[in-house]
Structure 1
Amino acid sequence: METANNDIQSTNLEKDFANATSYHGFGQFYKPQTTHYRRYFWMLLTVVATSACILQSSRIVIAAFQYPTKITSKVRYSNSSVFPAVTICNSNYLDKTKMDPDILAVVNSVFSNYNRSALDLVNLGLTPEIIAARFGQHADYGFFARAFGFKLKDIILECTYHNFNCLNSFTEVVEPNFGLCYQFNAGILQRGGNGNGGNNSSFHRQVGRGPSFGLQLVLDAEQYKYSTLDFFYRYQAGFIIAIHDQFETSSMTINEISVGVGRYTSISLHQTLIEKYLKPRWGECDDQELAFYRKYTREACKQEKESLYVMNLCKCRFKEVSESTVNYTICTTFDTITCVIPQLDLASRNYRISNSCKIACARKLFPKTISSSSIGTLAYGNILNKRLDLSTKLAYMQGLGLLPSSYTVQDYIRDNIVQLDVFFSDLAHTTVQQEQDITPEEVLSNIGGQLGLFIGVSMLTVCEIVFYIFDKMQYWPQRRNRDNRQTTPVDFEMKKSKVNNNANTIGVMGYGAET
């Protein structure tokens, strides 16, 4: 009797749930006057709809774990823009007029045989004592660049910014593989460095559109002073230009713009601010703190790793690197010219070092439009000569034997002079952000949409199912107790006694029949 009541209550529980739940389809299972065929049809339809819901929801979850992203961009307008840093390097590393024959022989021997060992250099007569006597005990990479590079007053003949003289706005920088360079509107890159601390108000700003509001330069390549050493020689005559943010390295090998002699070159800029790139897992950016540089950029990371690689290889440290960072003694001049400079050149081509650094999460870019034309030496040459007094410089170089006596001012302009304009074409800038394409809220919303579309399930329906399972579990202990009572030892003995009594009765009946 008790078992029957439990079964009836359990059946009523299913009916009550099916009739009351908002889970679509279940109500059709126990609907009055429903035929078996219709009931089976609704069962099949509910199973198919539930399966489709599970399939679509799983696709939504899988898509979310692909970590998709989207790029949003906006154009914003302003009355002025901070002008970028402009780094200018002569195409040739060394000024041969700054090296006497002895120095030229030493440099030529070292850098023509830079892949040889120290023993080979000793056989060439280049002992550490000889090198130290010539260059000093601790001459570093920057020492050679400054000692033998082209000087600012010689190569930048004229500089105007917004029609004001700007020759005092340049800073010396030493660029790997490019030697001594000069940077306009520079900030501080390295930790502990001196210079412009980074307040945007201290940088030059462009307040109008076009070249008259930007940077205007007249440069002299002085290619008659170019060294012919293979290690430093480049085939072009002119300048290498890089335009970049004040707090980023110039990345000359990546951002270089070649400006040829005898030409006027116009570089029109637009500003793009990458405000946010995402870190893994959604993105590939990094903003780790660097030991040598104030701000993380991919090129700064690359240069730092190249420096650490070379210092570990040469077993010495650069003068600007603290002993706590690299536990080596300061590189001697012999170390610098026999190991550091050649290995820095090789490290810059090591793709493993380059690929180990990720892009920065925020940075400033300057897309460029470059146009160029020849300088009119016939008409414009006399005007330029009067303005810059090129004839005096020409006569001086002819007196030193660096230029032939037949060389004219027009020849000098054609072979050495560069006119360069760098400016913003407009003061608008584009902001770029990388964002998550699918957020956790969207995943929940999309799954909720699938539940509502296929089976009409909401969060309240989930609560209904939970309570149904809870009520259902209340009958499971009663059913287990009922099953246990059916197999107790007392019941077993009663059944056994009943069987024996039946057997005795059958035996008596049989005996009476025989009698």
Structure 2
Amino acid sequence: MKPHPGPQEARRPASDIRVFASSCTLHGLGHVFGPGGLTPRRGLWAAAVLLSLAAFLYQVAERVRYYGEFHHETALDERESHRLTFPAVTLCNINPLRRSRLTPNDLHWAGPALLGVEPAEHAAFLRALGQPPAPRGFMPSPTFDMARLYARAGHSLEDMLLDCRYRGWPCGPENFTAIFTRMGQCYTFNSGADGAELLTTPKGGMGNGLEIMLDVQQDEYLPVWRDMEETPFEVGIRVQIHSQEEPPTIEQQGFGAAPGYQTFVSCQQQQLSFLPPPWGDCSSASLDADFEPEPSGPLGAPSPSPGPHPPYSLMGCRLACETRYVARKCGCRMMHMPGGAPVCSPQQYKDCANPALDAMLRKDACTCPNPCASTRYAKELSMVRIPSRASARYLARKHNRSEAYIADNVLVLDIFFEALNYETVEQKKAYEVSELLGDIGGQMGLFVGASLLTILEILDYLCEVFRDRVLGYFWNRKHSQRHSSTNLASHPSLCCHQDFVGIPPHPLPCHTALDPASVSSGLHPDILDMPRLLVSLPSSPQIKF
């Protein structure tokens, strides 16, 4: 218990440090500024208080520095759900163009650039396709559209899809959306395009997902005329499983499914959550793929622009970045790229677009941050041979094909969730503001025995010091000036005895101590009387002040 202040201490102002130390809850302060002189005991207490305060401030600075580094930690968890949204499934035939749909006009425009067929070899190539040569007087079209070529000559899903079921219910080409990729025209199941409702599944395991039977149409594959950079030597389809917010990059992230096999794909959903700056580097801003004719800075993530855009995704950012790069280099875009730039011609594909895009991918010139929230799918694949000997004849009769054709062209793809659980990978702040305040409060209590109310006491004392020392100084100065002006107003004349004491008539202020009435009345006993003043003053006619 703190001792009660004595009568002498009670008269001290609140701004006195001893008064403050006697009532402050800061430990040790009362022993330093207590009554009495300087003693060894007081010196030891002062050293202990200073050392504790220095240790406290060091710990606070260390905690603030650690908080300023913005550390984060990653938490991995597995959660269960009663229903999961089925992913988007994009599939492409490895062969981009059907041989039966190519025309002499297509060869004229796209033969040298895409197929490696020179004009002198057009007749031989048409014979290899099983088509007659170009008629006499053939005149190519004045313009050529690459997107129309792949839409017309690419593999049609109506011809490839032999059977389709989702959770045991029949589906068809109407449940797929056509989309262009770098492999040509592809098809996406459950894309959610045009506001379509996304499919969900309440169960995991086989029979609760997508099961399709496809005909790869190997008879429609183009003959390999010359070894080109993108000449396909394999047969089958390429498949990518992705979220609806992410555009497919099937040429980079797709897996293959071969004819003559049934491929089982067991999926598990993973939800990723990243932190924005300064703890992380994620972004959620939508991007615009349209390019600027005059680039003003280094190539990076395209800047957001107003207007409706798809949600931000890492692949979407890279695709927009690639679009801007190719558009700046070549003045056009590839057919799978978004934006409003014109589609490149076959010659632009060969001379500029393909080399520029390949060089860009090798340099990894696009700097795209991770999305703040994304979904991806882990996959496990297994395969079995089809058809069996028992089913080959049945499938041949059902689809009006030979058994050899079924073995060489038909495949089955079965995609399903392994179980109705999903993984969450979440970045969290390793050091929150509440933890920082808790650490500071703990160090404060450990070293100086203070709390938040102690800080309020110190602030209150500083206010008292400011009021008494600063404001009091100006108030006393103003009061004394006002008192002096009041005395001048009550005694306007100069002192009356200047001639009597031998002082020349200088304009001296009239003080009551020099007033004969005041002296004679005894109001100022500590002022010399007039005879002594006459004796003590020199006989000089002037006194210099």
TM-score in terms of structure 1 length? 0.71
Q: What's the secondary structure of 1:358's corresponding residue?
A: coil
CA RMSD of aligned residues (A): 4.0
Is the CA contact (8 Å cut-off) linking 2:330 and 2:353 kept in structure 1? no
Q: Distance in 1 between matches of 2:112 and 2:13?
A: 99
Is 1:213 aligned with 2:208?
A: yes
1:46 to 44, 49, 54: 49
Is 1:153 aligned with 2:153?
A: no
Kindly state the Cα deviation for residue 331 of structure 1 after the two structures are TM-superposed: 4.8
Partner of 1:346: 358
Is 1:298 aligned with 2:314?
A: yes
Q: What's the secondary structure of 2:361's corresponding residue?
A: coil
Is the CA contact (8 Å cut-off) linking 2:210 and 2:416 kept in structure 1? yes
Kindly state the Cα deviation for residue 441 of structure 1 after the two structures are TM-superposed: 3.2
Is the CA contact (8 Å cut-off) linking 1:80 and 1:427 kept in structure 2? yes
Asked which structure has the greater CA Rg, the reply is 2
Is 1:180 aligned with 2:191?
A: no
Is 1:283 aligned with 2:280?
A: yes
Is the CA contact (8 Å cut-off) linking 2:180 and 2:336 kept in structure 1? no
Q: Name the amino acid aligned to 1:365.
A: R
Q: Name the amino acid aligned to 1:240.
A: R
Kindly state the Cα deviation for residue 422 of structure 1 after the two structures are TM-superposed: 0.3
Q: Distance in 1 between matches of 2:281 and 2:373?
A: 12
Q: Distance in 1 between matches of 2:310 and 2:63?
A: 42
Question: Equivalent residues in 2 for 1:240-319 (5 A)?
Answer: 240-274=238-272, 276-291=273-288, 293-316=309-332
Question: Equivalent residues in 2 for 1:41-440 (5 A)?
Answer: 41-72=44-75, 75-100=78-103, 103-104=106-107, 107-111=110-114, 134=140, 137-140=143-146, 142-168=147-173, 169-176=175-182, 178-188=183-193, 196-198=194-196, 202-227=197-222, 228=224, 230-274=228-272, 276-291=273-288, 293-316=309-332, 330-331=342-343, 333=345, 337-338=349-350, 341-342=353-354, 345-346=357-358, 349=361, 351-354=363-366, 356-375=367-386, 377-391=388-402, 409-410=403-404, 412-440=405-433
Q: Name the amino acid aligned to 2:361.
A: R
Kindly state the Cα deviation for residue 241 of structure 1 after the two structures are TM-superposed: 0.6
Q: Distance in 1 between matches of 2:94 and 2:412?
A: 15
Q: Distance in 1 between matches of 2:336 and 2:376?
A: 29
Kindly state the Cα deviation for residue 423 of structure 1 after the two structures are TM-superposed: 0.8
Residues 341 and 467 of structure 1: CA distance in aligned 2, closer, same or farther (over 3 Å): closer
Is the CA contact (8 Å cut-off) linking 1:187 and 1:247 kept in structure 2? no
Please list the CA deviations of residues 416-453 of structure 1 after superposition, one character each: whole Å capped at 9, or x if unmatched: 33221001122233445433333333322321221112
What runs of 5+ residues in structure 1 fail to find an aligned partner?
A: 115-120, 126-131, 189-195, 392-408, 482-515
Kindly state the Cα deviation for residue 253 of structure 1 after the two structures are TM-superposed: 3.8
* Higher RCO (CA < 8 A, seq sep 6+): 1
Q: Name the amino acid aligned to 2:143.
A: Q
Q: What's the secondary structure of 1:213's corresponding residue?
A: coil
Q: Name the amino acid aligned to 2:270.
A: T
Q: Name the amino acid aligned to 1:367.
A: A
TM-score in terms of structure 2 length? 0.68
Residues 266 and 303 of structure 1: CA distance in aligned 2, closer, same or farther (over 3 Å): same
Q: Distance in 2 between matches of 1:348 and 1:379?
A: 51
Kindly state the Cα deviation for residue 72 of structure 1 after the two structures are TM-superposed: 4.7
Q: Name the amino acid aligned to 2:157.
A: L
Partner of 1:507: none
Is the CA contact (8 Å cut-off) linking 1:222 and 1:416 kept in structure 2? yes
Please list the CA deviations of residues 286-319 of structure 1 after superposition, one character each: whole Å capped at 9, or x if unmatched: 1222235522212112212222222232234689
Kindly state the Cα deviation for residue 153 of structure 1 after the two structures are TM-superposed: 3.1
Partner of 1:404: none
Please list the CA deviations of residues 340-363 of structure 1 after superposition, one character each: whole Å capped at 9, or x if unmatched: 753574366254443x22222222
Task: State the aligned residue count.
Answer: 429
Kindly state the Cα deviation for residue 237 of structure 1 after the two structures are TM-superposed: 2.5
Q: Distance in 2 between matches of 1:385 and 1:377?
A: 12
Q: What's the secondary structure of 2:191's corresponding residue?
A: coil
Q: Name the amino acid aligned to 1:174.
A: F
Q: Distance in 1 between matches of 2:208 and 2:439?
A: 53
Residues 122 and 311 of structure 1: CA distance in aligned 2, closer, same or farther (over 3 Å): farther
Is the CA contact (8 Å cut-off) linking 1:138 and 1:332 kept in structure 2? no
Is the CA contact (8 Å cut-off) linking 2:15 and 2:464 kept in structure 1? no
Is the CA contact (8 Å cut-off) linking 1:307 and 1:344 kept in structure 2? no
Partner of 2:532: none
Is the CA contact (8 Å cut-off) linking 1:85 and 1:245 kept in structure 2? yes
Q: Name the amino acid aligned to 1:342.
A: N
Q: Distance in 2 between matches of 1:313 and 1:460?
A: 66
Is the CA contact (8 Å cut-off) linking 2:75 and 2:426 kept in structure 1? yes
Kindly state the Cα deviation for residue 183 of structure 1 after the two structures are TM-superposed: 1.1
Kindly state the Cα deviation for residue 234 of structure 1 after the two structures are TM-superposed: 3.0
Q: Distance in 2 between matches of 1:334 and 1:254?
A: 22
Partner of 2:442: 449
Higher helix share: 1
Q: Percent identity?
A: 26
Kindly state the Cα deviation for residue 154 of structure 1 after the two structures are TM-superposed: 3.3
